[in-house]
Chains A and B, each alone.
Chain A
Amino acid sequence: MTGGIVSLAIVLLLLALAVWAVLVREAFLAIAGFVAYGLLLSLVWVRLYGIDVALTEAAIGGGLTGAMLIGAVSRLRGTEAASRSERSGAGLHVVALLLCFSVTATLVLCVLLLPEPAPTLALQVSENLAVTGVGNPITGVLLAFRALDTLLEAIVLVIALIGVWSLAPDRLWGGRPGLRYHADPDGILAYFARLLPPLGIIFAVYIFWAGADHPGGKFQSATILAAMWMLVLMAGLADTPSIGHRGVRFGIVIGPLVFVAIGVLGLFSAGALLAYPEEWAKPMIVVVEVALLPTLTLVLGLLLAGPPARRGSAA
């Protein structure tokens, strides 16, 4: 009963926040609403027993996306006043309203028409999970049963980073992304950036390792590592590497490369692309996860840092 009340309260708050984030005029406030929305949404996932999704939602939806959007807003600040004085016509409003309603109606219809019970592969996964050697079914699905999805996801992230880099003007190509941060070296931010990263790294390694049998894994772990990196950068304790740096580029591609290599190896050893030979499943999954960790950390951090904005020293 009390559980029902809590769920209802969360859902109502979630809806109210969503409406507010859409309606509020100032972009910065909308993002504040969006970040709170992400955190509430992760609570919803906790209540649905989707702890893995909740962790990812809190780290990516609330944290990383919020930070990215704040960066976007500060870039757009110059144009905001102009766009606010602009008034769109009634026709446009009607079209937008109709479009929103039809999308919502389609979604509602889809949910209502879902077959009962919903089609599920959960039984097959739990029956065959022992073969992969991992105890967390989410990790099993991501890296064994649906390894192709995870591989393509990692590749998409790398392509997204290349897309961000390609916004650099020619003369800055190979330079360092974003601004050089300067903070008081004895200030609270620098102190915080010295104190927290060691703890954060331990925590990230724990989440990474626990991912085999408990909620967690490389994605959440990489987000924590990227956040620690950002903290050190913003406190001015280190500088963003230039995008031409060999080591950085190697770190970015190592994950997909190792994943593809092991996938091709599966062709010969297990008879199918991305298949693992039976007794080697767990070690191979660990190798892929370890290789994806630097890729995800670097890509998430550099996506936040943005396109090259100043010339870097030679790599």
Chain B
Amino acid sequence: MGRLLDLFSIVAVVAGAFFFLAGSVGLLRFPDAYTRLHALTKADNLGLALVVIGLLPQMDSVLAALKLVVVWLLVLLSSAAVSQLIARAARRREQQP
């Protein structure tokens, strides 16, 4: 059982790391602000979610695991709000050259 959970952790964290890598590549390669934001949110949402899910079985207590989930939710909230704001600012700049 322990072995299986460790394997699950490794797979999930590696998958999360892959999303972070893909998000970073997208951030560097995509042509405009909107597509770059799109790439970034993949890293924030999916990448971090997979890392958190992977780490959950490794936590000693339920409280520590809950804290990890709260971290993920807070990052989710702030990245969603901030990317909205950045996209809005980018559009405003386009409209008034």
Inter-subunit contact A189/B77 (CB<8 Å): no
Q: Which residues of chain B are near A195, meaning CB under 8 Å?
A: 77
**Which A residues lie within 8 Å of B85 (CB)?**
188-189
- Among A172-200, those with CB < 8 Å from B are 188-189, 191-192, 195-196, 199
Cα–Cα, bound, A195→B88 (Å): 20
Task: Please determine whether A199 and B81 come into contact, CB atoms closer than 8 angstroms.
Answer: no
Asked if B74 is at the interface (CB within 8 A of a chain A CB), the reply is yes
A189 to B74, CA, bound (A): 15
Check if B84 is an interface residue, CB within 8 A of chain A: yes
Q: Which residues of B contact A191 (CB under 8 A)?
A: 81
Chain A residue at smallest Cβ distance from B84: A188
Task: Tell me which of A188, A189, A191, A195 has the highest count of chain B C-beta atoms within 10 A of its own C-beta.
Answer: A188
Q: How far is the CA of A196 from the CA of B74 in the complex (A)?
A: 9
Residues of A within 8 A of B84 (CB): 188
Q: Which residues of A contact B78 (CB under 8 A)?
A: 192, 196
A189 neighbours in B (Cβ, 8 Å): 81, 85
When distances are taken between beta carbons in the complex, the residues of chain B under 8 Å from A199 are 74
Contact residues in A for B88 (Cβ distance below 8 Å): 188
Q: What residues on B are CB-neighbors of A188 within 8 Å?
A: 81, 84-85, 88
Min CB–CB distance B93 → chain A (angstroms): 14
Interface of chain A residues 105 through 124 with chain B (CB within 8 A): none
Does B81 lie within 8 Å of A192, measured CB to CB? yes
Q: Whole-angstrom distance from the CB of B72 to the nearest CB of chain A?
A: 14
> Residue on B with the closest CB to A196?
B77
Q: Which residues of B (26-61) have their CB < 8 Å from a CB of A?
A: none
- Residues on A lying within 8 angstroms of B by beta carbon are 188-189, 191-192, 195-196, 199
Task: List 8 other contacts, CB 8 Å, given A189-B81, A196-B77.
Answer: A188-B81, A188-B84, A188-B85, A188-B88, A189-B85, A192-B77, A192-B78, A199-B74
8 pairs from A and B in contact (CB 8 Å cutoff): A188-B81, A188-B84, A188-B88, A189-B81, A189-B85, A191-B81, A192-B78, A196-B78
